[in-house]
C-alpha cells in the first residue's frame, strides 16, 4: 500500500486557502472600518479639537488685537497729538504682559511712528522694505489681517502679527495696532497636532494660500499646488466642513476643511490614510505568517498521523497478527517477484510447505491458548533457522511456507530435514505441549515454466505425500 502524499498536499492547500481567505476578509474589513472611523469620527472630532485649540492659541490673541483697535484710549491718544508717549507704552506693556504676548504694537497714521511697549521703535517709510506690510495693509480693504513676517527691530525670528486697523468716529483710518506671536510657538502648536493626532494641520486664506503651517514639515505655499486639489479650492471655500478624498503621489489622503470666521481663514486637517492603516497592514502580514506556520504545523501533524495509521494498516494487511510473520497475501507477492528474478538470473528457487502434525489434538487436549503458543513458538524457530534473505510466512491455520532464494532441491531438502529435526527436538515446544511437536514438510524447486499456481500445486502434493507417509517426514516433488 503506497502512501498518498497528494491528499496531504490538497488538504494543506485547502487549509492555507481557507486561513488566507479569512485573513484577507479580516484585513479588508479592518481597513474599511479604520477608514470609516477616520472619515466619520476621528477626522471631524479632531477638526473640532483643533478648532478649540486654535481658538485658545490664535483667536484669543486676535480678539485682544481687535479689542486694542477699538479701545477709546488708543483712539483718543492718536487723535490728541500723541503727546504722552509713556501713556501708550504703558498701555502696550500692560496688554503684552497680561496676555503673555511676544509683542504689542501701535502705528500712527499721522506721525508714522511705530510704538511698542519699549517706546518709539521706528519711523515708517514706504521706501523701507520691512515697512511695506503697513502700506499694503492700509491700502487693502481688510479691517484686519494675519501677517507672518520678520521684524528686524524686534529680533530676527519669524513672527505672526495679528494686525487691526484703527478707525476714528468718521471711519478714517488713524493707525494700526495688534500683537505678535513667535511662529516657533505656532509651530509647536501645529507640531503638537501632528504628533498627537497624526494629522497635518494648516490654515489657508480665500486664495488657497497657506497662511499658517508647521514650517520645515509643510512647505506647501498654496493648496492649488496639490494637483488633485486644484479644482477643489472653490468647494473648500464655499462649503463649510468639507470632507475630501484625494490621491497624491500614490498616497491616499482624507482632508477636512472648516472655516474659522474669527480669523477669516480655513482650517485644513489632512490625514495620510496609510498612517492609520499601517498597523492593520502589519497585523495582516503577521496573520498571514501565523496562518502559514499553523497550516504547515497542521500538515506535518496530519502527515505523521496518517503515516502512522497507514503503517499500522500496512502491517495489518501484510502480516499475520498471531505469529507476526508475513501472511499468505504477502508471501504470494514475494513469490511472484522471486519467480521472475529466478527466470531472469537463472538461479534456483525452492519452497518448503510445513504443516504441524496432529495440531488438532493439541488444541483439543491442551486448549486454544496452548495451540496459539505452539504456533508462535514454531514461527520463531522457523524464522531463526533460515537466512535473512529467505521468507517465512504463515499460510493459514497450522501451515507455514518458506521461500529459499538461490537454493536448489538438494539443498532445500537438507534445510527441510534440519528444520524437521530441530522442531522435533525443540525443548520449548516440549515444555508448551508436554510431549513436543513434529512437522511434515513438502519440498519442491521452481522450474522455468512454473507459475505461482503450478509451484503451489506441486508443493501441496509433496506435503500431502509426507502426511501420507506417516507424518514427521519430508516429501519431495521434483520439478
10 interacts with ligand GTP by CB under 6 A: no
121 vs 134: CA distance, rounded Å:
14
Query: What does the DSSP assignment read for 30-77?
Result: HHHHHHHHIIIIIHHHHHHHHHHHHIIIIIHHHHHHHHHHT-HHHHHH
Which of 291, 371, 377, 445: binder of ligand GTP (CB under 6 A)? 371
Task: Pick between residue 357 and residue 450 the one whose CB is nearest to ligand GTP.
Answer: 357
Please give the size of the binding site for ligand GTP, defined by CB under 6 A: 16
Stretch of 143-151, 202-210, 240-248, 355-363 contacting ligand GTP, by CB under 6 A = 355-363
Which of 82, 109, 122, 355: binder of ligand GTP (CB under 6 A)? 355
Task: Pick between residue 376 and residue 411 the one whose CB is nearest to ligand GTP.
Answer: 376
282 vs 232: CA distance, rounded Å:
33
Which of 64, 335, 356, 437: binder of ligand GTP (CB under 6 A)? 356
359 interacts with ligand GTP by CB under 6 A: yes
Task: Pick between residue 181 and residue 437 the one whose CB is nearest to ligand GTP.
Answer: 437
Task: Pick between residue 174 and residue 475 the one whose CB is nearest to ligand GTP.
Answer: 475
119 interacts with ligand GTP by CB under 6 A: no
Stretch of 210-218, 302-310, 333-341, 370-378 contacting ligand GTP, by CB under 6 A = 370-378
In the chain the first and final C-alpha atoms are separated, in Å, by 34
* Backbone angles phi and psi of 358, in degrees to 5: 50, 45
Can you list the positions of beta strands (E) in 235-293? 242-248, 251-260, 265-272
Residue 374 near residue 325, CB atoms below 8 Å: no
Closest distance of CB 336 from ligand GTP, Å: 25
Long-range contacts of 339-342 (CB under 8 A, 24+ apart): 339/446, 339/450, 339/451, 339/452, 339/455, 342/446
Which of 65, 166, 204, 375: binder of ligand GTP (CB under 6 A)? 375
Q: Name the catalytic one among 82, 145, 398, 477.
A: 398
* Backbone angles phi and psi of 112, in degrees to 5: 60, 20
Is 398 designated active site? yes
Indicate the SS3 state at residue 395.
strand
372 interacts with ligand GTP by CB under 6 A: yes
372 vs 363: CA distance, rounded Å:
9
Stretch of 43-51, 263-271, 286-294, 368-376 contacting ligand GTP, by CB under 6 A = 368-376
360 interacts with ligand GTP by CB under 6 A: yes
450 interacts with ligand GTP by CB under 6 A: no
376 interacts with ligand GTP by CB under 6 A: no
Residues of span 382-441 touching ligand GTP by CB under 6 A = 397-398
Q: Which residues contact 398 (CB under 8 A, 6 or more apart)?
A: 355, 356, 359, 375
363 interacts with ligand GTP by CB under 6 A: yes
Residue 252 near residue 274, CB atoms below 8 Å: yes
Q: Which residues are catalytic?
A: 398
Binding footprint of ligand GTP on the chain (CB under 6 A): 322, 355-360, 363, 368, 371-372, 375, 397-398, 467, 471
Amino acid at each position: 500500500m503506497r502512501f498518498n502524499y497528494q491528499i496531504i498536499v490538497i488538504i494543506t492547500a485547502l487549509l492555507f486557502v481557507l486561513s488566507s481567505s479569512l485573513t484577507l476578509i479580516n484585513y479588508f474589513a479592518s481597513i474599511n472600518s479604520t477608514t470609516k472611523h477616520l472619515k466619520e469620527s476621528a477626522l471631524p472630532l479632531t477638526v473640532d479639537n483643533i478648532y478649540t485649540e486654535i481658538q485658545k492659541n490664535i483667536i484669543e490673541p486676535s480678539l485682544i488685537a481687535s479689542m486694542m483697535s477699538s479701545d477709546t484710549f488708543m483712539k483718543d491718544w492718536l487723535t490728541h497729538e500723541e503727546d504722552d508717549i509713556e501713556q501708550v507704552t504703558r498701555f502696550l506693556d500692560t496688554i503684552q504682559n497680561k496676555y503673555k504676548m511676544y509683542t504689542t504694537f501701535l502705528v500712527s497714521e499721522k506721525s508714522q511712528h511705530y510704538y511698542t511697549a519699549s517706546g518709539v521703535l521706528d519711523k515708517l517709510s514706504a521706501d523701507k522694505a520691512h515697512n511695506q506690510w503697513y502700506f499694503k495693509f492700509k491700502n487693502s480693504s481688510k479691517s484686519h489681517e494675519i501677517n507672518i513676517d520678520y521684524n528686524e527691530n524686534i529680533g530676527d525670528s519669524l513672527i505672526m502679527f495679528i494686525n487691526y486697523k484703527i478707525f476714528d468716529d468718521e471711519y478714517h483710518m488713524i493707525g494700526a495696532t495688534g500683537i505678535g506671536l513667535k511662529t516657533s510657538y505656532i509651530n509647536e502648536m501645529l507640531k503638537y497636532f501632528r504628533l498627537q493626532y497624526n494629522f497635518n494641520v494648516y490654515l489657508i486664506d480665500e486664495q488657497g494660500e497657506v497662511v499658517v503651517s508647521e514650517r520645515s514639515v509643510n512647505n506647501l505655499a498654496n493648496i492649488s499646488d496639490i494637483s488633485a486639489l486644484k479644482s477643489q479650492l472653490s468647494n473648500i471655500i464655499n462649503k463649510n466642513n468639507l470632507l475630501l478624498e484625494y490621491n497624491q503621489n500614490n498616497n491616499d489622503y482624507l482632508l477636512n476643511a472648516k472655516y474659522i470666521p474669527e480669523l477669516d481663514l480655513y482650517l485644513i486637517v489632512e490625514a495620510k490614510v496609510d498612517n492609520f492603516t499601517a498597523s492593520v497592514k502589519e497585523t495582516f502580514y503577521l496573520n498571514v505568517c501565523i496562518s502559514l506556520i499553523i497550516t504547515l504545523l497542521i500538515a506535518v501533524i496530519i502527515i505523521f498521523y496518517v503515516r502512522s495509521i497507514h503503517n499500522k494498516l500496512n502491517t495489518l494487511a501484510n502480516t499475520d497478527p498471531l505469529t507476526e510473520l508475513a501472511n499468505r497475501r504477502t508471501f504470494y507477492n514475494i513469490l511472484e517477484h522471486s519467480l521472475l528474478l529466478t527466470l531472469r538470473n537463472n538461479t534456483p528457487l525452492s519452497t518448503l510447505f510445513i504443516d504441524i502434525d496432529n495440531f488438532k489434538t493439541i488444541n483439543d487436549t491442551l486448549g486454544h491458548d496452548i495451540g496459539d503458543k505452539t504456533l508462535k513458538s514454531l514461527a520463531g524457530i522457523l524464522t531463526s533457522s533460515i537466512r535473512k534473505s529467505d521468507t517465512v510466512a504463515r499460510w493459514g491455520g497450522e501451515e507455514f511456507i518458506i521461500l529459499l532464494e538461490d537454493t536448489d532441491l538438494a539443498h532445500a531438502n537438507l534445510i527441510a530435514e534440519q528444520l524437521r529435526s530441530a522442531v522435533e527436538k525443540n525443548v520449548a515446544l516440549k515444555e508448551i505441549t508436554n510431549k513436543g511437536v513434529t512437522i511434515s514438510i513438502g519440498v519442491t524447486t521452481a522450474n522455468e515454466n512454473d507459475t505461482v499456481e503450478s509451484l503451489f500445486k506441486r508443493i501441496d502434493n509433496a506435503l500431502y505425500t509426507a502426511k501420507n507417509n506417516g507424518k514427521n517426514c519430508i516429501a519431495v516433488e521434483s520439478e
